Structure 1
Amino acid sequence: MLFWILYYTLEVYLDFYWSRYQFPDFKWQIRLQNALMLELCYFLVKIPLAYVLLYVYEKVNLKFVFKYILYIFIVTAAVFGHRFVTHFIIYPDIYGVIETLDGKQVSGFINGYVAFNSFMDLIFMTGLIFGVEITRQKNILKEQISQLKSEKLDQELTMLKAQINPHFLFNTLNNIYGMALKKADETPDVILQLSKVMRYNIYEAAEKNISIAKDIENIKDFIQIQKIRYHQLTVNFSEDIDNPSQEISPLILIQFVENAFKHGVSESLGEAFITVDIHLKNGNLTYLVENSRQEKSHENSTKIGLKNIRRQLELLYPKHTLSVEDESNRYTVTLTIDFHDTISL
């Protein structure tokens, strides 16, 4: 509709301007009225032509040669219709004169020059509407591709998260099982903490994003569960958050802490330590997790976990850095995220 309104306005202006020289004795009000009327008459030919050509272009499946012949037939018919409207309606009924060419009366409604003018007028309109339609289709296709990519990324992230939740659950249940065998007094407290953490994993983590304050609270609950099990453990936890409502994809940060317990603390024979340092300022996150470790640890398992995390970070936070310091007695991971450049799924 917008295309036809703009095209009609353009054609009325051109006809109004042309009539100054063709009919200099007409007042401008008459010339404008004539231009408005004649373009409405031409629309009886142009609009059907435009949509018939678009239909053939989009819906009709023919070989190129036959389709090309069909285009020629349709345009030729439109040229005859254009000439008929011009010769028998516009000139005698709107202008009130007989059609002339170079001062001579046009006897028939079809001849070479006037037919060429009609052809050029129709081709100009056809080129415009095909350009608009092809551009519109490309934009629709671009949106569909973007939507498919978004859905694919969303599905991939869901699968990655699904790999995390059972892993955490099974590890913690094993811990509770060991405590139950020993009839430890802390077992009910651990079960209560586990219930809180799993509630987060099942309900909160189902969201695409969550406030960083809730994510940090979940990390603290997780650490509290592990502290009950590991008595010879020193945990240094510090946070400096200037925007607690900053959104972050859930279950990313906790994976580093989980790996620290699984591949660091659980393998330590003596006293162990974990350091967690979270800083958020002006949309930039710095997150450090450091843990003690034995010289002979399961490095392959650690790498598998990091591969999962790296993939999520690549999908969600293009402007991130993840550095790993692997020393003989300690393992340090430092993550930085620029939340100003986040992929929206």
Structure 2
Amino acid sequence: MTVSLKSDHKSKLYIHLLFWILYYILEVYLDFYWSRYQFPSFKWQLRLQNTVILELGYLLVKIPLAYSLLYVYEKVHINKIFKYILCALIVILAVLGHRFFTHDIIYPYIYGVTETLDGKQPSSFINGLVAFNSFMDLIFMVGLVFGIEITRQKNLLKDQISQLKSEKLDQELTMLKAQINPHFLFNTLNNIYGMALKKADETPDVILQLSKIMRYNIYEAAEKNISIEKDIENIKDFIQIQKIRHHHLSVHLQESIDNPSQEISPLILIQFVENAFKHGVSESLGNAFISIDIELKDRILTYCIENSKEEKPHQHSTKIGLKNIRRQLELLYPKHKLTVENKTDRYIVHLKIDFNDPSNL
């Protein structure tokens, strides 16, 4: 369970303890108010003292009744008919206990009088009217306890479901990110391998840049959110690696960030840049280009990438990567806006994320 049993028991103890304190205060107030009509000759100090003792005595009947019924309701697994019979027996015993305490202890020993129905006629131990009053008093209290406990359990279940959903989303996001890192590493190592075969002078620089990027992917990307400044810096490192290999490539990066510390989920933005290089540059003929425009203003991110396109692209070359990105955006920023334009000679991607939206993870 996402919520520990120890924490649940502690919460239950505090809630029920608070209930009984408030319930006791209410009962003392009501009985003290009633006693001035029942015993007008008593001084208020004596009436208050008697009421305090009276209600403490009633708690000795009410608390065992409430939790006996709760135990039968929650823990005892028997036929419903037998369960109802057992509950009825418990209530009958509680009513008898309530009557005994009232008839044989409260009136003769605390009030010093005989219990009466109308102030004149003595009441017997078992009388239909007084027994019904005892029954209603007990059932009202039991209803309150059950209502509080059921509400508490529903709230607890709601919290558990919310936590489970959050954990499931976190696991799915982690899995989606894990699909990106090996993909990027595989492509870059292939590039380094090709440069090493040619004994290119830039090979050590590319390895150094790759080391920096992998350090980011391992440590920074493990965080739920990072600053957009760090995410853009990682994009720049990635571009630098690609530019070393693609000398003919024209890359234009424009950024306008009014809050560099704005948090964003890592590895979201760079995936579009990866796609631009993989599907629009490395396989393109002639002059290849990538144009990246990142703007953050008033916690609203506008992200646009435009890249050249090969003449005969593979039909399914971008579907898996784009599907991955879309799923991450759905989980992290449900109300984002993403459009992908597939034109004859270029791809254009527009992404808008409003960080003010409370639905964001």
TM range (shorter): over 0.9
One-letter code aligned to 2:39: F
| Residue 58 of structure 2 corresponds to residue 42 of structure 1 | yes
One-letter code aligned to 2:172: E
How much does 1:171 deviate?
0.3
Match of 1:139 in 2: 155
In structure 2, C-alpha distance between the alignment counterparts of 1:112 and 1:277, rounded to whole Å: 84
In structure 2, C-alpha distance between the alignment counterparts of 1:342 and 1:11, rounded to whole Å: 44
Q: Which stretch of the first structure deviates more once superposed, 99-108 or 206-215?
A: 99-108
In structure 1, C-alpha distance between the alignment counterparts of 2:50 and 2:143, rounded to whole Å: 25
Q: Which among 183, 189, 194 is matched to residue 178 of structure 1?
A: 194
In structure 2, C-alpha distance between the alignment counterparts of 1:239 and 1:30, rounded to whole Å: 81
How much does 1:310 deviate?
0.8
Match of 2:293 in 1: 277
Structure 1 pair 344/338, CA: closer, same or farther in 2 (3 Å)? closer
SS of corresponding position for 1:288: strand
Unmatched 5+ stretches in structure 2: 1-16
Task: Spell out, residue by residue over 1:34-84, the C-alpha distance to the aligned partner (whole angstroms, 9 max, x if none).
Answer: 221110010010011111111111111011111111110000000000000
RMSD of aligned residue pairs (Cα, Å): 1.2
TM-score, normalised relative to structure 2: 0.93
Question: Pairwise mapping of residues 218-257 of structure 1 onto structure 2 (< 5 A)?
Answer: 218-257=234-273
How much does 1:22 deviate?
1.0
Q: Which among 108, 112, 117 is matched to residue 128 of structure 2?
A: 112
Q: Which stretch of the first structure deviates more once superposed, 107-116 or 325-334?
A: 107-116
How much does 1:104 deviate?
3.7
Q: Which among 183, 205, 211 is matched to residue 167 of structure 1?
A: 183
Unmatched 5+ stretches in structure 1: none
Question: Pairwise mapping of residues 194-233 of structure 1 onto structure 2 (< 5 A)?
Answer: 194-233=210-249
Asked whether the equivalents of residues 304 and 350 of structure 2 are also in contact (C-alpha less than 8 Å), the reply is yes
How much does 1:28 deviate?
2.3
In structure 2, C-alpha distance between the alignment counterparts of 1:344 and 1:242, rounded to whole Å: 20
Question: Pairwise mapping of residues 4-15 of structure 1 onto structure 2 (< 5 A)?
Answer: 4-15=20-31
How much does 1:105 deviate?
4.0
Match of 1:158 in 2: 174
Q: Which stretch of the first structure deviates more once superposed, 138-147 or 25-34?
A: 25-34
How much does 1:108 deviate?
2.8
Structure 1 pair 27/344, CA: closer, same or farther in 2 (3 Å)? farther
In structure 2, C-alpha distance between the alignment counterparts of 1:338 and 1:33, rounded to whole Å: 63
In structure 2, C-alpha distance between the alignment counterparts of 1:10 and 1:54, rounded to whole Å: 22
Q: Which among 72, 91, 94 is matched to residue 107 of structure 2?
A: 91
One-letter code aligned to 1:341: D
SS of corresponding position for 1:322: strand
Asked whether the equivalents of residues 287 and 334 of structure 1 are also in contact (C-alpha less than 8 Å), the reply is yes
Q: Which stretch of the first structure deviates more once superposed, 293-302 or 134-143?
A: 293-302
How much does 1:303 deviate?
2.0
Task: Spell out, residue by residue over 1:263-292, the C-alpha distance to the aligned partner (whole angstroms, 9 max, x if none).
Answer: 000111111100111111111100111101
Aligned length: 345
Asked whether the equivalents of residues 333 and 360 of structure 2 are also in contact (C-alpha less than 8 Å), the reply is no
| Residue 352 of structure 2 corresponds to residue 336 of structure 1 | yes
In structure 1, C-alpha distance between the alignment counterparts of 2:108 and 2:126, rounded to whole Å: 16
Asked whether the equivalents of residues 284 and 339 of structure 1 are also in contact (C-alpha less than 8 Å), the reply is yes
| Residue 312 of structure 2 corresponds to residue 296 of structure 1 | yes
Q: Which stretch of the first structure deviates more once superposed, 85-94 or 328-337?
A: 85-94
How much does 1:180 deviate?
0.5
In structure 1, C-alpha distance between the alignment counterparts of 2:314 and 2:322, rounded to whole Å: 13
Match of 1:78 in 2: 94
In structure 2, C-alpha distance between the alignment counterparts of 1:106 and 1:219, rounded to whole Å: 92
One-letter code aligned to 1:242: D
Asked whether the equivalents of residues 257 and 289 of structure 1 are also in contact (C-alpha less than 8 Å), the reply is yes
Q: Which among 310, 321, 325 is matched to residue 341 of structure 2?
A: 325
One-letter code aligned to 1:175: N
How much does 1:25 deviate?
1.9
SS of corresponding position for 1:244: coil
One-letter code aligned to 1:161: K
How much does 1:30 deviate?
2.2
Q: Which among 219, 241, 266 is matched to residue 282 of structure 2?
A: 266
How much does 1:31 deviate?
2.0
Match of 2:138 in 1: 122
In structure 2, C-alpha distance between the alignment counterparts of 1:130 and 1:281, rounded to whole Å: 52
Structure 1 pair 146/300, CA: closer, same or farther in 2 (3 Å)? same
| Runs of 4+ with >6 A deviation | none
How much does 1:33 deviate?
1.9
